[in-house]
Amino acid sequence: QVFQLLTDLKQQRKESGRNKQSSGQQNLNTIMYETLKYISKTPCRYQSPETVRDFLMAMKGHKLTK
């Protein structure tokens, strides 16, 4: 979900074409960039809400506890 959200936000910012950015905005952009870079290297990049839901349904029958 985080990967999808950040990817969508990045696309929206590209489309809006804003050039003026405050220092807070630049910090946020850096955090978004670093987070996307990290997540892109993990398997969660390929997960979708459907695959997570399917996994949870498959595991439900095993009655696992925390």
pLDDT tens digits for 5-60?
Answer: 888 888 888 777 666 667 777 888 888 889 999 988 998 888 888 988 999 899 99
C-alpha–C-alpha distance, residues 34 and 43, integer Å: 16
Q: What is the DSSP letter of 1?
A: -
Is 10 inside a domain boundary? yes
Give the pTM: 0.58
Structural domain containing residue 32: 1-60
- Which tokens in the block code for residue 46? 């390929």
Is 3 inside a domain boundary? yes
Find the helix or strand (DSSP H, E) in which 64 lies: none
Q: What residues contact residue 32 under an 8 Å CB cut-off, 6+ apart? A: 6, 9, 10
C-alpha–C-alpha distance, residues 2 and 4, integer Å: 5
Q: Provide the number of structural domains found in the chain.
A: 1
